[in-house]
Amino acid sequence: ELLALSKGRITKQSIAIPIDMYSAIIADAINVVEKYHVLRHGISKLVSQVIQISDDVKSQCDFSNNSLTKEQNDKAVDHQIRKRLKNIDHQIPDFNITLNGSELGKIQSACLIVTLAFSGGRIGEVLSFNPSRYSTKQVGKHKLISIVSGETSKGEDGIPRTVTWQTHPIVKDALELAFDMTESLRDHYKTLIDEKINSGAYREDEHAKASKELNSAFIILRHNTTSAASFVQANSQRLLTQYAASLKLTASNEDIEEF
């Protein structure tokens, strides 16, 4: 209580957004999903190449006998990796190869926005989604509705339970894109956590937790992560804010009046 009182910043909650601005964000996110859904496996293969090149360079560079600092060594390795990445020829439109996963992050954010908008789930709940969570349900004789299920701890004393939301078929494409484009990363992380439990660096419960997290469509995107508190995307709110900001939307007088 004292710590909260010591902060001069007033806590506020954003509860709405002008409909035209919201529509523009959703429309852009849908366009991204539709553009890259068919290319999702190609993106995963490209990521696999990046991981392989990164691992090869790190294994080939030996700085044990030089006088460089660790920071200087890391920069030298990074320079060699970026140099080799320039030689990769790919057919993914408007996609720049990066080491920090920023390009993947833009697509992942679009998938998350679409899933949030058309499911009604909270961010923490949607982060448990993957393509297998999507299904259809027969209603009456001639109607199918789309549904998606995820985990929530609301009202259950912190114990996860499964909740189902009605959704839209575009969510299926969004989840498939987010999941399949990161398949090579997911395999990379699985190898990492298996090595950790075999070496004793992970306990059984830690390995089980990490394995469960890797079932999410929205995993972390830095392949050079050697340890992580969670393999589920932890910066999703910041990434969504960055995505919206990248569209450079400006509120019109009508938007302000509506708001």
**pLDDT at residue 156 in the model:** 65
**pLDDT at residue 15 in the model:** 63
CA distance 40 to 46: 10
Mean pLDDT in order along the chain per 10 residues (259 residues): 75 76 95 97 93 85 66 81 84 86 91 94 89 91 88 69 90 97 94 90 89 93 74 85 90 87
**pLDDT at residue 200 in the model:** 87
Contact 60, 76 (CB under 8 A): no
**pLDDT at residue 13 in the model:** 65
CA-derived radius of gyration, the chain: 21
As a dihedral over the C-alpha atoms of residue 65, residue 67, residue 73, residue 76, rounded to 10 degrees, the angle is -90
**pLDDT at residue 140 in the model:** 80
Give residues with Cβ within 8 angstroms of 240, minimum separation 6.
109, 112, 113
Structure tokens at 223: 């392949």
The structure's pTM equals 0.85
**pLDDT at residue 55 in the model:** 84
**pLDDT at residue 48 in the model:** 92
- Longest Cα–Cα distance of the chain, Å, equals 75
CA distance 175 to 165: 15
| Helices 40-60 + 183-199 axis angle, to 10 | 40
**pLDDT at residue 64 in the model:** 58
**Starting at the edge strand that comes first in sequence, how are the strands of the sheet with 143-152 ordered?**
134-139, 143-152, 161-167
**pLDDT at residue 66 in the model:** 67
